[in-house]
Amino acid sequence: MAPGMTTRLYYTEPWRREFDAEVVDVTDVGGRRAVRLDRTAFYPTSGGQPFDTGTIGEARVVDVTEDEASGEVQHVIDGAVSVGDRVRGVIDWTRRFDHMQQHTGQHMLSAAFAHGHGVRTESFHLGADVSTIDLAREVSADEIATAEAEANRVVWEDRPVAIRFVAEDEAARLPLRKQPVKSGRLRLIEVEGFDLSACGGTHVSRTGAIGIIAVRGWERFRGGSRLTFVCGRRALGALRALRDSADGAARQLTVHPDELPAAVERLLVERKETQRELRGYVERLARYQGEELAQGAERVGAVAIVVEALEGYDANALKVVGTRLVREPGRIAVLFSRARPALVIALRSGDVASVDCGALVRELFARFGGKGGGRPDLAQGGGLEASPDALVTAARELVGLGRLPPG
């Protein structure tokens, strides 16, 4: 062991959960205490795999980093230790074993893509919920399905996963899945008869411990594909979450979960029909409403003018009523919704030229905010911040009507 180098117990004993060590250095890094031990089973963040947590003595380990140049492992802790202390390190095994399942699963999936489809894995990221691999080219749904099946077949054969160390020149003669990034003595991970690659991470010792590898999704990424996957306990968690949401939706629709796609399709068809029917009703209602409004129109010369704020009308309904109103000659209509902010539409019949609807709505927006626009014969918009009364009063004035009679 080179002086200062930390002996990494997980290199040869990935199953070790506890260890004894001596504190060889304590430093302050940005207000946090960083501890170096003569040996450690804590995995430092590297190669796409996050660090281990756990305890050193009484202190909690909150981060573990490695210095590539010196080979030192730094443990950031939230307690106190001193140089020379003999301490016991304990790994949070739930977290570590989860990382081992995901990481070994990644080797299997990458190997299946390499063997089956000649696709290289460019990078790997082990996330808090899901992991990803970036593949060198775009892959099809069929290729993903066969690679996933092949990787799982080898998982269920429960093949040994061996660790060995070789010199660089020996490694050069071996059929490694990808060119190692490190030089010097290399640590190789071999899944018997399936995969051989250089890796410093932690892996299960038989493929059966991965449990299952499940691809959750994929997308195009930098000219290739990014695959999202979960292994082992995470795959069970994903299945449970899917089951809960599928069961919940199925209960709402009172169908079996298998019938969900068909039930949702039926629902969408029904909704479309309902919307069409509703549009029909709104138009019929608008016809009556338009006629009713026309009866109460006020006259300026030969022109009948309607200025109203209507309850429960959206932009489409306002347009239907307004269009209906100005279908007859000699009419002007300015209609608002009673909602706040309010919608507005202004229209005039083909034979009326006394009011510019576009100018009218622009004046309303200038006074009350909102936006929209249109032509002299039809203009509309929304976002008017004023009460229905204030809007009606302003519009009456703009079309040349007086103030509303009291009452």
In the complex, which residues of this chain contact Zn ion (CB under 5 A)?
199, 201
Dihedral sign for Cα 177, 182, 183, 187, please.
negative
Torsion angles phi and psi, residue 239, rounded to 5: -65, -45
Q: How far is the CB of 106 from Zn ion (least distance, A)?
A: 7
- Minimum CB separation from Zn ion for residue 47, in Å? 7
How far is residue 279's CA from residue 272's CA, in Å, rounded to a whole number? 11
Measured CA to CA, the distance from residue 235 to residue 327 in angstroms comes to 64
Tell me the closest approach of the beta carbon of residue 183 to Zn ion, in angstroms: 18
**CB-count burial class (<10 Å; 0-12, 13-18, 19+) for 6:** buried
Min dist. Cβ of residue 197 to Zn ion (A): 7
Residues 308, 402, 355, CA angle at the centre, nearest 5°? 70
By beta-carbon proximity to Zn ion, the closer residue of 199 and 212 is 199
Q: Are 74 and 36 in contact (CB under 8 A)?
A: yes
Give, for 345, the enclosing helix (H) or strand (E): strand 342-348
Least distance to Zn ion, CB of residue 43, Å: 11
Q: How far is the CB of 250 from Zn ion (least distance, A)?
A: 40
DSSP three-state, residue 246: helix
Distances (CA, A) of 25 to 20, 39, 93, 298: 16, 12, 25, 92
> With respect to Zn ion, which residue has the nearer C-beta, 164 or 299?
164
Please, which residue, 165 or 288, has the CB nearer to Zn ion?
Answer: 165
DSSP state of 158: T
Q: Name which of 201 and 372 has its Cβ closer to Zn ion.
A: 201
State which residue, 55 or 106, has the beta carbon closest to Zn ion: 106
Token digits of residue 188: 């190789």
CA distances from 256 to 83, 157, 252 (A): 64, 34, 10
Residue number, 199 or 263, with CB nearest to Zn ion: 199
CB of 201 to Zn ion, least distance (A): 4
What is the nearest approach in angstroms of Zn ion to the Cβ of residue 203?
6
SS3 assignment, position 143: helix
Q: Which amino acid is at 23?
A: V
For Zn ion, the closer of residues 126 and 293 by Cβ is 126
Q: Which is nearer to Zn ion, 107 or 331 (CB)?
A: 107
